[in-house]
Each structure stands twice: as structure tokens, then as C-alpha cells.
Amino acid sequence: MGDPHSGLHSERGALAGEHPGRAANPVIKVHDLAWLEFEKPDLKRAEVFARAFGFTTVLSTGRELHLRGTDAGAPCVIIRKGARSKFLGPAFLAATPGDVLRLAEATGRPVARLPETLGGVVLDLPDPSGLRVRVVSDAHELPALPPQDPQQLNFGHEVRRVNATQRPPRAPALVQRLGHVVLQTTRYREALDWYLDHLGLIVSDFMYHPGQRGRGPVMSFIRCDRGATPADHHTLAMVLGPADRYVHSAYQVADLDALAAGGEYLREHGYHHSWGIGRHIEGSQLFDYWRDPDGFMVEHFSDGDLFDNTLEPGWAPLTTSGLAQWGPPATADFLGVKPGKESLRELRAVFSALREDNEFDARRLLGLLKVARS
Ligand SMILES: [Fe+2]
């Protein structure tokens, strides 16, 4: 065995001619993901789950539910009453109010006022998959709430806790903030370029189907470009697939004990566990995945990577075993292949996606099947 690191860079970095992972001259550079919007038929049920998951209710009118974390800022999840449960789209936070205007000018779209419950202004843009993407500014800043204290840990011989016990509460893991959203799209490459060009997002990691690197990436983990100020490894992740849909969203909690004990709390209250606990590779987060009562996947995470804008994208094959450094094997529920309504819908989507003019073709289907087996 030679040096395990030799050749690592050329394998993991970009090859000549590959996607640079950022736009040369984006219209604006958004600061963060502000919130996600959903429609659901049963707001009461949604709120009961949200509290067990660790959200704090800001507004609950019977027509609308606003959920927040303990960090200062706008609510991070907005749910409106609707006939069926549906993901409406993400809202990104502009770095300055002027950026909303600049983006409006560049796209020829109007800026509108947000309702007084939120405050501020919004610009709505359709992304190439048809999803409504909002860019917001000047929303009311809710003051920070008392956060959940992290546990005082002894690390090996590095002793920080003496004459005191370790008693993490078996309680909801208090959500601090929204971290990221993952979207599946039939037009991955087109959508990727749209987000990089319009919102100035930059790619942290590209993934390709095993054996198909030459055909280009099929997934990317994308962060906000805040210059020298570090940002989450990914605020948005996008993956090529047979349907345009929400995959999951992730919320930061204090530490591993909060995540694990909060998970026990959800389990005891009869909620559906999807996958975890483990530690991811791309982003390095400790993770635990759950399903809300409407079947939307939501993630608790802690201890993720933060990158400034100097790091270049990594490149790796997309494999099931590559989803975690440690943890149980990825479940059929997490991978969306559990027999049931959702996988049937996805299978039907495969057939229509193959017929339609998009980026999901027969070779990509073979690539996807290879991912599931690896
Ligand atoms: Fe995630």
C-alpha cells in the first residue's frame, strides 16, 4: 500500500472541462435560506408534530401556522391550510434589500410586500423545474429564544465535568434554525445553473452516477457565498430524478444528545423514524431523519461543516454506502424505495420522465439503479 492520499486530489477534485461549481458573474449572492412554505390539510396535526420535533409556534390562526427555531430571525417553516399536503417552495434571504430590486430588474418580475405577519418584501421566481422560489428581505426579526444547552462533555482525558452528572432531557430536541432543503428535479443541470446564476450559490460537492462521470454530475450540495464568512456546507442540495419534488429539509439542534434524546421522544410519541442516527460524509453532519404526519421527510442535524467561499467543489460517485461515515445502512424509507404509495408514484414518474423532454433518460435510470445497489 502506498500513501493513501496520493492521487486523492485528482480523483476528488474537478477534471479539466468539468463544471466549475459557481457562476462567474451571478445577479446576486443570497445570504441564507429564510424559510420553507407548505400547504397541509390538517394544521392541528402539523402543529402537534412540529412541537414534538422541536419547533416553537409563532403564529397559529387555523389558516396559517408559523414555526420558528430559537435563533433570531423570521419563522423557518410556514404552513398554510390547503386541500392536500404540498411543498410550495423555498424562500431565500437576500443579503441586502437592494439585492431584491437588482434581481427583480434582471428578471423583469415585480417585487411585492409580504403580509404584515411576516413583514418585508418578496420577489417570486419560477425555477427551471417550475418550483416557486422566493427571495425575501426586511422580514420582521423575531428575537432569539433561550436555546437548549449543549451537554458538558468529557473528551477522553480532557475532563470538563467534575462532580456533576450527565442527564440530557428526554424532550423534543429544540430546533435552532433551518439548515437546508433537498430537491429532486428532472432538469438538474438546468436548475443548478439557474441557482448559481441568479442566487450566487456555489457548489461544495458534486456527485455523479458510478461509471458515468463523463456525463456530468447528477447531484450537488450547494452553499451560500458569504465571502470570508463561513456558511453551511449545503443550504440547498439538488438531485436528478424522475419527478420534480421535495426530498427533505433539515433543522439544526444543539448536539448529539439533543438529537438522540429528541429522537427517543419522537419515537415514544409514535412518530415514524426514517433513518439514523449517523454521520454524513458530504457536510459531515450528525443526522437523524423522521417523517412528519403528511409523509414529508425532516432531519435533525448537528455539528455540520462550514466553508467560506475559497473551497473548490469536491467530486465523488453517488452511492448508497457513501451517504454516511457511520450509522445503520440507509433504509428503504429514506431511499424512497419502500413498497407503498410514494414508491409507486415515483415508479410512474420514471415512465413519464423517460417519455418527456428533460435530463432523465434511460442511461440515467440505469445510473440510479446502480446507486441503489452500491
Ligand atoms: Fe440533509
Query: CA 279 → CA 63, 256, 287, 308, 324, distances in Å?
Result: 37, 10, 6, 21, 5
pTM metric for this prediction: 0.95
Q: List, for residues 17-53, the tens digit of each pLDDT value.
A: 999 999 999 999 999 999 999 999 999 999 999 999 9
Cell 421535495 sits at which residue? 246
Reading the block at residue 351, the C-alpha cell is: 415512465
Q: Kindly give the distance from the C-alpha atom of residue 157 to the centroid of ligand 1, in angstroms, as a whole number.
A: 33
List residues bridging with 280 in a β-sheet: none
Q: Kindly give the distance from the C-alpha atom of residue 131 to the centroid of ligand 1, in angstroms, as a whole number.
A: 19
Q: Kindly give the distance from the C-alpha atom of residue 74 to the centroid of ligand 1, in angstroms, as a whole number.
A: 21
The better pLDDT of the pair 346, 31 is held by 31
Q: Kindly give the distance from the C-alpha atom of residue 329 to the centroid of ligand 1, in angstroms, as a whole number.
A: 16
Residue 39, Ramachandran bin (φ over 0: left; ψ between -120 and 50: alpha; else beta)? beta
Q: Kindly give the distance from the C-alpha atom of residue 283 to the centroid of ligand 1, in angstroms, as a whole number.
A: 9
Q: List, for residues 134-147, the tens digit of each pLDDT value.
A: 999 999 999 999 99
Q: Kindly give the distance from the C-alpha atom of residue 302 to the centroid of ligand 1, in angstroms, as a whole number.
A: 11
Q: Kindly give the distance from the C-alpha atom of residue 244 to the centroid of ligand 1, in angstroms, as a whole number.
A: 17
Query: CA 152 → CA 156, 172, 255, 256, distances in Å?
Result: 13, 19, 10, 12
Angle at 339 between CA 334 and CA 341, to 5 degrees: 90
Contact assessment for residue 112 and residue 121, using Cβ atoms and an 8 Å cutoff? yes
- Under CATH, which architecture does the 19-140+170-373 domain have? Roll (3.10)
Q: Kindly give the distance from the C-alpha atom of residue 122 to the centroid of ligand 1, in angstroms, as a whole number.
A: 26
Protein residues with C-beta less than 5 angstroms from the ion ligand 1: 250, 299
Q: Kindly give the distance from the C-alpha atom of residue 250 to the centroid of ligand 1, in angstroms, as a whole number.
A: 5
Q: Kindly give the distance from the C-alpha atom of residue 8 to the centroid of ligand 1, in angstroms, as a whole number.
A: 25
Of the pLDDT bands very low, low, confident and very high (cuts 50, 70, 90), residue 87 is: very high
Q: List, for residues 211-247, the tens digit of each pLDDT value.
A: 999 999 999 999 999 999 999 999 999 999 999 999 9
Task: Give the residue from 269, 358, 359, 276 showing the smallest Cα distance to 323.
Answer: 276
Locate the domains of the chain by residue range: 19-140+170-373
